[in-house]
Amino acid sequence: MLDFGNFYQLIANKHPQNDLSSWLEILPAQLATWQKENLDSRFSHWLNSIEHLPSVTTPLRLDLLHGVSAQTEPALSTGEQQRIEKLLKTMLPWRKGPFDLHGVYIDAEWRSDLKWDRLLPHIDDLTGKTVLDVGCNSGYHLWRMVGAGAKLAVGIDPMALFLCQFEAVRKLLGNDQRAHLLPLGIEELPKLEAFDMVFSMGVLYHRRSPLDHLLQLKNQLVKGGQLVLETLVIEGDEHQALMPGDRYAQMRNVYFIPSVPTMINWLQKCGFGDVKMVDLSTTNQNEQRTTAWSTEQSLTDFLDPNDASKTIEGYPAPMRAVFTAKK
């Protein structure tokens, strides 16, 4: 079983600007229920792998500013590296990375560092901030938020695999307590109004009701806090959004992909101010591809083999935009 006690302790004290203590009224019960419902043989296997990872101690060289990497001095032996690699490979697929941990390079399906590099110049300074990353997956961006100065980075993602990947990485980073992942969906959060910045990246189009998603994000922000939202977008005017049929780029759970003006309209309708689109990019195979750490199909398999501007279903190929907005 995973123990969230460190996080509970961290938030127990009332803080004038970022008070998360009221969360303790429901969080322990929610997480206990989640563990009971998710404790199957795979989850137990992953927990066992985490347990067998070495507890790395200082002196430890961490770099969370240029990537997510850790190395002891002297470096771990080849035998120890191989053992770490074998344990981490019990948690395939690694979707978001890369991580460079004691000579083991987790080359995940997504180069999440590229997304981070695109958005970082356009968002508020993270120094000293308390931040929330909704749909954080393995937690790659949580560590980058810490590297950029965040005091506390909290991620939520309901999937057991991603929680285990996060805890494995945390252990190899020397049990760093500046980031925490809670296995929850955004819809399970009370109105905390305690985060200086809230990130929702790659989540909006998976939500059945995008406007409710935006309001749920707003509920987590302090007054004046910043939302950083990244989503798939289509070309079009402020009245257009794509609601795909059964699948979009082979994904079943895609509901609405807005145009950039529609996304701005949605944010403004939800009461956000200072709404800006700060980056627009087309996803390519440099950023999303099959690797030894994620061997399933990837971007090239999701595009029309004769026309890369279309998905295999005939929709516009994935294009992504980053928006910032203030509460």
Ligand X SMILES: C[S@@+](CC[C@H](N)C(=O)[O-])C[C@H]1O[C@@H](n2cnc3c(N)ncnc32)[C@H](O)[C@@H]1O
Q: Which is nearer to ligand X, 56 or 254 (CB)?
A: 254
Structure tokens at 314: 């005939």
Instruction: Tell me the closest approach of the beta carbon of residue 211 to ligand X, in angstroms.
Output: 15
Contacts of 33 by beta carbon, 8 Å cutoff, 6+ apart: none
Closest CB to ligand X among residues 84, 214: 214
Question: Which residue matches tokens 């806090």?
Answer: 225
**What separation, in Å, do the N-terminal and C-terminal C-alpha atoms of the chain show?**
37
DSSP 262-288: HHHHHHHHTT-EEEEEEEEEE--TTTB
Which residue number, 101 or 182, has a Cβ lying nearer to ligand X? 182
Q: How far apart are CA 153 and CA 188, in angstroms?
A: 18
In the complex with ligand X, the residue whose CB is nearer, 178 or 206, is: 206
Are residues 64 and 144 in contact, defined by beta-carbon separation less than 8 angstroms?
A: yes
CB of 59 vs ligand X, minimal distance in Å: 31
Q: Which is nearer to ligand X, 102 or 115 (CB)?
A: 115
Read off the DSSP letter of residue 202: S
Within 202-248, strands assigned E span: 221-233, 241-242
Task: Give the nearest residue (CB) to ligand X.
Answer: 135
3-state DSSP assignment of residue 137: coil
Query: Cβ closer to ligand X: 83 or 206?
Result: 206
To which residue do tokens 């771990």 refer?
Answer: 76
Residues that bind ligand X (CB under 6 A): 96, 110, 112, 115, 134-137, 156-159, 162, 185-187, 201-203, 206
> Which run of H or E residues covers position 99?
strand 99-101
Angle at 156 between CA 154 and CA 158, to 5 degrees: 160
Closer residue to ligand X in complex, CB, 155/225: 155
Q: How far is the CB of 205 from ligand X (least distance, A)?
A: 9
Looking at residue 248, what DSSP letter applies?
Answer: B
